[in-house]
Structure 1
Amino acid sequence: MTAHPAVENLENAVGFADDHLIALVDEGLGNSAYLLDLGDGRALAMDASRDLRALHSAAERRGLRVTFAADTHLHADFLSGAVQLGHDTGATVLASAAGRRAFPHRGLVDGDEVDLGGLTLRALATPGHTDEHLSFLLLDGSRELGVFTGGSLIVNSAARTDLLGADRTEELARAQYRSLKGLATLPDETTVWPTHGAGSFCSAPPGTERISTIGAQKQANPLLAAPDEDAFVSQLIASLGTYPAYFDRLAEINRRGPAVLTADPLLPALSAQQVRALIARGGLAIDVRPAADYAAGHIPGSLSIPLRRQFATWLGWLVPDTAPLAFVTGEDQDPSEIVWQAYKIGYERLAGRLDGGIPAWTAAGHRMATTAFVTADQTDDRPYVDVRQEAEVAAGHVPGAVHIELGGLTAAAAAAAPQRPVIACGHGERAMTAASLLERAGHTDVAVLNGGPADYADAEGLRLVQGTQDTRW
């Protein structure tokens, strides 16, 4: 598989003997995978995603062969790369026996140990985020070097417990309490290497740091400071926000095992006529160009999801995985980045990309649409609609704004909306996505704010207010 073009930016040496453990951070999903150099040309991969470009590049540069691929749990936010590593390198897959995975793996239970050749990996049952969740304690003899905590203890928080349904949220939160209390008995100097971190919708709520120690978490993690189990459960559940729709599908795919890829997936070139025919058959056109380019001219009915770190999240949240997808790209955008972000969340019905981009569409004589992209002094008294997440809105919002999270807009788009709204988020990308959803649902005269709430407040002479926004869609 090809090297990740930004691999240098994704690698960070962390924890003990920094040259032995590499964190591979997916900024878009907010997760960290880990590559552990075992010292003899072999390596362990922990919680690797299906997009293995960065991991393969890191291993190749260090002359390492991945011989173990461990998963802390059945991931809901990305497809695991463990099965692929088993195919590519012959790696032994290590995972919880309770996960009932339907592919070859070494099933582990609490207390089981794996000899890594000088180091030992000990499985610790830490249910809560999922039923079958394991943490992995890394030992050098009897010395605890660190613990891979996956979706259990994360920096200043814990992973969410509502992914298996609302009827099990409290039960799993109580299990999470016991798991965190158990991890807190490890020596204070033990490094904590979580999978979920800043930007992950699996976090509850997301923190900003990715690596810590047991001692630091005992001092700083508010959940560990909860006076009792009931207080812990109340605090954790109160922090749960929304999460992408695709989370409900991926755990089962990971249990069965994602399909092995024998070559890099491609994004074929499509003519304007082919794209038009695909749309007529129920397919979707996804425009990945920057928001300003989409505003200036786009295929009517296409969805704007700019290609950036968070592309996979919004694709999986807003687009059904059953529809064939055609992509509209700009000149300097890398089609392989579209493919890998889609594949790592299980989107494989990728028909191709519009060859020649929007100029080819117009040259073929097809109709174009535009969207008003306005600055804060050009909003013309339009009602202000904020599509940011609840926590962002609570931190500071325009007084009187209408609030609906972008993730909830698909279901609400057909409902009555404010007339002539200006849609806003933090910078404009999510707002343009929201506008494209509204326009696709038949709403007209929609504008997008090129900026955020502070820009609007400054232009209108307002002060942002904190707390829950009462004006709802």
Structure 2
Amino acid sequence: MRGRTSLGGQQVGFTDTHLIPLVDQGLGNSAYLVDLSDGRALAVDASRDLRDLHAAAGRRGLSVAYAADTHLHADFVSGALQLAHDTGATVLASAAGHRAFDHRGLADGDEVDLGGLTLRALATPGHTDEHLSFLLLDGGRELGVFTGGSLIVDSAARTDLSGGDRTEPLARAQYRSLRRLTALPDAAAVWPTHGAGSFCSAPPGAERTSTIGAQKRTNPLLAASDEDTFVRELLASLGTYPAYFDRLSEVNRLGPAVLTAPPQLPGLDAGQVEALLDGGGHVVDVRPAVDYAAGHIPGALSIPLRDQFATWLGWLLPDTVPLALVTGPAQDLDEIVRQSYKIGYERLAGHLTGGMPAWSAAGHPVATTAFATADRAPAGTYIDVRQQAEYTAGHVPGALNLELGELAARAADAPTGAVVACGHGERAMTAASLLERAGRTDLTVLQGGPADYAAAHGHRLKHDTPRDKQ
């Protein structure tokens, strides 16, 4: 991909090196930083966690002049308003989004002169009603398109985030939007926001970027024979999604709070943590699953600190009550704060100073959870807490699929003495902690996954077919 952009009267080639993808592995999204070759940059779909973006800009000596959002994000707090504060960036977004803060509202066909390059807004509703894609042009040449949650690699983003009555109409809009995008030249790059790991319907293992021509060859939704077939296939692919998705788009419309200093996670003593619990707050234990199993505060929710921490925090707990964190000695407190804040969880009361040893030393009770490898796990009912698509792809015969995100409401469905499992053990420990809060202490968490258990107990994994699911 090459084009020309101006710099002080000179012509400078625009190549792939001018585009810097910034991947959030935990949420499965990509933001983009575009070097405009004159000391300025364009940021597209940046989240509130701006560490990587600022670092990338700093390495090139760039200041972010424009912050474009393709849509009202449901899965992360937008960083556009923060960039406006930090660098004076102009926020570019759909006028139809009715954002309640200063921004340049764009409609279909509107163009922004970036100084040699042009950004053209294309109305591509479907993922949301007000969704825009941004076509990057050099003169009349289409270099690539930031497709947000419209055309994504080998799929299209989900259309059920605006309520059940809007799901099918938006799926039909998505069909028309994808047809519009695929009318672009085959060589034009496709730069989506949602990718593998996102709950906005990106398939697993997909590449993060593509081209229009490649998508016309490989995207199964583009092979749909007509609109009805497309809608049927898209809607059939929709799984569950985190609970916080239902509230975050409005946060982004109103405009999140601008941070004037890095938020901190103060220390709390055991008495303060106990008082927080008694007052209706929650304790989140972010230590590895094995440490939680060995001893934890009764009622604490296990969410190990890893790339997916924010997803499960936002899925399983409200954002309206204070949270106290239990950490291990080597864990990064700043990482906890950054992941929490990027999904709008700001009521972080602090962390237990001294960790579990301090809790025990203060004379408070400690609970444990059975955690066993496959060869030591009991034979019996097997609860698989993975997503339905993971379960369908391969599970222990006779396993009961209770997705982690729905488990709190279905605790009564968990059989007595069951083995609780996921792919490795982290989600299963989270599930066990939810069940313990519901009074269930008779369960064993599998340290491993279905293949380990099946091999240890003489089973073969079962793979569901479409007929099995009917």
TM range, smaller chain? over 0.9
Residue number in structure 1 paired with 2:8? none
* CA displacement, residues 215-249 of structure 1 (integer Å, 9 cap, x when unaligned): 00000001111110000000000000000000000
Residue number in structure 1 paired with 2:7? none
SS for the counterpart of 2:375 is helix
Q: CA deviation at 1:381?
A: 2.1
Q: Do structure 1's residue 448 and structure 2's residue 438 form an aligned pair?
A: no
Residue number in structure 2 paired with 1:148? 146
**Separation in structure 2 between the aligned mates of residue 471 and residue 448 of structure 1, nearest angstrom:** 27
Q: Do structure 1's residue 426 and structure 2's residue 423 form an aligned pair?
A: yes
**Separation in structure 2 between the aligned mates of residue 203 and residue 471 of structure 1, nearest angstrom:** 22
Residue number in structure 2 paired with 1:63? 61
Instruction: Return closer, same or farther for 1:174/1:206 CA change in 2, 3 Å cut-off.
Output: farther
Say which of 434, 438, 444 aligns to 2:435. 438
**Separation in structure 1 between the aligned mates of residue 124 and residue 115 of structure 2, nearest angstrom:** 25
Residues 424 and 448, structure 1, Cα contact 8 Å, conserved in 2 = yes
Residue number in structure 2 paired with 1:388? 386
SS for the counterpart of 2:407 is helix
Say which of 21, 24, 40 aligns to 2:22. 24
* CA displacement, residues 101-157 of structure 1 (integer Å, 9 cap, x when unaligned): 000000000000000000000000000000000000000111111000000000000
**Separation in structure 2 between the aligned mates of residue 326 and residue 269 of structure 1, nearest angstrom:** 9
* CA displacement, residues 328-363 of structure 1 (integer Å, 9 cap, x when unaligned): 001111001010101010100000000011111111
- AA aligned to 1:252 is E
Q: Percent identity between the aligned chains?
A: 76
Query: 199-208 or 158-167, which moves further after superposition?
Result: 199-208
Residues 195 and 202, structure 2, Cα contact 8 Å, conserved in 1 = no
Q: Do structure 1's residue 210 and structure 2's residue 183 form an aligned pair?
A: no
SS for the counterpart of 1:224 is helix
Residues 379 and 457, structure 2, Cα contact 8 Å, conserved in 1 = no
Unaligned runs of 5+ in 2: 1-13
Residue number in structure 2 paired with 1:177? 175
Instruction: Return closer, same or farther for 1:306/1:470 CA change in 2, 3 Å cut-off.
Output: farther
Cα RMSD after superposing both structures = 1.5
SS for the counterpart of 2:165 is helix
Q: Do structure 1's residue 310 and structure 2's residue 308 form an aligned pair?
A: yes
Instruction: Return closer, same or farther for 1:171/1:205 CA change in 2, 3 Å cut-off.
Output: farther
Q: Do structure 1's residue 464 and structure 2's residue 445 form an aligned pair?
A: no
Unaligned runs of 5+ in 1: 1-15
Q: Do structure 1's residue 238 and structure 2's residue 236 form an aligned pair?
A: yes
Question: What TM-score do the two structures reach when normalised by structure 2?
Answer: 0.95
- AA aligned to 1:430 is R
Residues 378 and 419, structure 2, Cα contact 8 Å, conserved in 1 = no
- AA aligned to 1:221 is N
Say which of 256, 259, 279 aligns to 2:257. 259
Residue number in structure 2 paired with 1:337? 335
Count of residues in correspondence between the two structures? 457
Query: 335-344 or 374-383, which moves further after superposition?
Result: 374-383
**Separation in structure 2 between the aligned mates of residue 380 and residue 82 of structure 1, nearest angstrom:** 51
SS for the counterpart of 1:307 is coil
Say which of 101, 104, 124 aligns to 1:103. 101
Residues 204 and 236, structure 1, Cα contact 8 Å, conserved in 2 = no
Q: CA deviation at 1:469?
A: 11
Residues 185 and 213, structure 2, Cα contact 8 Å, conserved in 1 = yes
Say which of 315, 324, 327 aligns to 2:325. 327
**Separation in structure 1 between the aligned mates of residue 376 and residue 57 of structure 2, nearest angstrom:** 51
**Separation in structure 2 between the aligned mates of residue 471 and residue 439 of structure 1, nearest angstrom:** 32
* CA displacement, residues 43-100 of structure 1 (integer Å, 9 cap, x when unaligned): 0000000111111111111110001000000000000000000001000000000000
**Separation in structure 2 between the aligned mates of residue 412 and residue 66 of structure 1, nearest angstrom:** 47
Q: CA deviation at 1:379?
A: 1.9
Residue number in structure 1 paired with 2:41? 43
* CA displacement, residues 299-330 of structure 1 (integer Å, 9 cap, x when unaligned): 01100000000000000000111110000001
**Separation in structure 2 between the aligned mates of residue 148 and residue 253 of structure 1, nearest angstrom:** 23
**Separation in structure 2 between the aligned mates of residue 50 and residue 231 of structure 1, nearest angstrom:** 37
SS for the counterpart of 2:16 is coil
Q: CA deviation at 1:380?
A: 2.2
Residue number in structure 1 paired with 2:72? 74
Q: CA deviation at 1:206?
A: 4.8
SS for the counterpart of 2:356 is helix
Residues 173 and 233, structure 1, Cα contact 8 Å, conserved in 2 = yes
Residues 156 and 202, structure 2, Cα contact 8 Å, conserved in 1 = yes
Residue number in structure 1 paired with 2:9? none
**Separation in structure 1 between the aligned mates of residue 372 and residue 297 of structure 2, nearest angstrom:** 20
Q: CA deviation at 1:417?
A: 2.2
Q: 1:342-421 counterparts in 2 under 5 A?
A: 342-413=340-411, 415-421=412-418
